[in-house]
Structure 1
Amino acid sequence: MPAQPGAHGLIRPSFVPPQPVRKLRDLTRARTQLTRERGQIVQRLEKLLEDTGIKLAAVASDITGVSGRAMLEALIHGERDPQVLAELAKHKLRNKVPELTEALTRRFRAHHAFLNRLHLDHYDQLHDAIGQLDARIDEAMAPFRPALDLLDIIPGINRAVAEVITAETGGDMSRFASAQHLASWSGLCPQADGQTLPPTSS
């Protein structure tokens, strides 16, 4: 019978995180999903601008930053003069006013303004929700602060990534027999075809 090994204690049980860790997972996973959706909104904005011939993303690295947002809002409100739009650039982007003027010299119609407004409003809603999750995660991280602070000092791991690792593992690596077991459990073990193996437990 397949259940016999388990009944006799011959199969190691899967790691089941305690409730505080599960709650923390819910929060960090929700934030990851919303952050991904926010990135998709930016991609839609870039595609919409490209359809008008505007190449703002080719000059401004972040079209939802202070400068990019000011230009988008001006376009939505009817400004079409590329020189006027380019002069809305702030800080280091002011060094690229000529390039911005060229990038903004295209056709932007009321149809595009309507869709841009929808996308920007959606972006703002997601941004606010992510901010709420950030605050809730910070509160929920209190019991795990020592592990989080240690992870945060590792080169290449920022605070958000450290929070995700803490939420997924509970910050206690002693429950894993080795680094290889942790990698397998987290789904990071490579297969022969370059894919990664799925987690061995939840």
Structure 2
Amino acid sequence: MPPEPVRHLRDLTRYRTSLTAEQTREVQRLEKELEDAGIKLSSVATDIMGVSGRAMLAALIEGERDVHTLAGMAKARMRPKIPTLVEALTGNFGEHHAFLCRLHLERIDHLTEAIGELSARIEEEMLPFSRQLDLLQTIPGVGQGVAEVLIAETGGDMARFATAGHLASWAGVCPGHHESAGKHKSGRRHHDNRWLGAALGTAAMAASRTRETTYPGARYHRLAPRLGKKKAIVALEHSILTALWHMLTDDVTYQDLGGDYYAKYDPERAMRRITRQANALGFTVRFDPIEAV
């Protein structure tokens, strides 16, 4: 059983994760209600819960139906989208939709307030782990929220795990190929800790979008065509946990190998790939070394 401070952290981070998921579902219900009324606000606004979106929704609920007035409430980067907003806000939004949307917004606001209270409490409980928290946030894709979950679920103490492999195995991110007596058994990952798995998945997805700048991003784009996106994400989760173990064991920050690691590691393979891509476009290429200045 983990010590009491870790148990408290787990209670808090797990509850926050649950409320965040419920908040997402409530926003989806709101979007569905708007679509039922023919309002396509989400097709124009990246976040309908942003300043502009909330202003338009509040006006709709209060009875405003002039689409030009509603679209004119757009702020900042939404201003150039006003003509598109006029079309998106043209629908049959009625009293029934206003009633349900008001309830959805009240529920979302209540959840937002509760999540804020939990985050503040987690920051207090996380003070003894401030060093670990700072270290983990140097990993690509790992923000404060994810780092807090990683510490809460692993305990922040790597002494209980003999190696990084033990940690990855405990977390269920070691898919493998199992064969015995000529029979193949499932090598799929197991999900013993869904809270840790969700946090790792969030971090891996964020890291996968850093192809040009970080090693995890380059690793994902190298593996995805061959293994598929899901297995490539699991590979990144494994990499993140491996880095976590070494960082917390040795008390060091993350040292990234760089987005060009594979090109430097195997330049001939990189050149062959570039040649194939150029040939597919109908071009030939020639590589000449750059003279040192």
Establish whether TM, by shorter chain, passes 0.5: yes
Q: 1:131 aligns with which of 116, 119, 122?
A: 116
Distance in 2 of aligned mates of 1:105 and 1:166: 48
Which amino acid letter does the alignment assign opposite residue 154 of structure 1? I
Partner of 2:190: 197
Which amino acid letter does the alignment assign opposite residue 80 of structure 2? N
Counterpart of 2:70 in 1: which secondary structure?
Answer: helix
Which deviates the most, 110-119 or 170-179?
Answer: 170-179
Moved over 2 A (4+): 187-196
* 1:191 Cα deviation after fit: 6.1
Which deviates the most, 189-198 or 40-49?
Answer: 189-198
Distance in 2 of aligned mates of 1:17 and 1:101: 56
1:98 to 2:83 alignment: yes
1:41 to 2:34 alignment: no
* 1:196 Cα deviation after fit: 2.5
Partner of 2:204: none
Structure 2 counterparts to residues 13-162 of structure 1, below 5 A: 16-162=1-147
* 1:199 Cα deviation after fit: 2.8
* 1:185 Cα deviation after fit: 1.5
Distance in 2 of aligned mates of 1:191 and 1:119: 44
Which amino acid letter does the alignment assign opposite residue 61 of structure 2? I
Q: Sort the Cα spacing of 1:156 and 1:111 in 2 relative to 1 into closer, same or farther, 3 A.
A: same
Partner of 2:239: none
Which amino acid letter does the alignment assign opposite residue 24 of structure 1? L
Which deviates the most, 29-38 or 185-194?
Answer: 185-194
Distance in 2 of aligned mates of 1:195 and 1:70: 47
* 1:184 Cα deviation after fit: 2.0
Q: Deviations over 1:128-176 (max 9, x none)?
A: 0000001000000011111111001111100100000011111112211
Distance in 2 of aligned mates of 1:84 and 1:195: 54
Which amino acid letter does the alignment assign opposite residue 182 of structure 1? L
Distance in 1 of aligned mates of 2:63 and 2:133: 48
* 1:194 Cα deviation after fit: 7.4
TM-score (norm 1): 0.88
Note the residue ranges of structure 2 that are not aligned, 5 or more in a row: 178-185, 194-293
The two structures, once aligned, show a CA RMSD in angstroms of 1.5
Which deviates the most, 165-174 or 135-144?
Answer: 165-174
TM-score (norm 2): 0.61
Contact 1:191–1:197, Cα closer than 8 Å, also in 2 = no
Give identity over the alignment, percent. Answer: 62
Which amino acid letter does the alignment assign opposite residue 70 of structure 2? L
Counterpart of 2:92 in 1: which secondary structure?
Answer: coil
Contact 1:185–1:198, Cα closer than 8 Å, also in 2 = no
Note the residue ranges of structure 1 that are not aligned, 5 or more in a row: 1-15
Distance in 1 of aligned mates of 2:138 and 2:97: 45
* 1:190 Cα deviation after fit: 2.8
Greater RCO (CA < 8 Å, at least 6 residues apart): 1
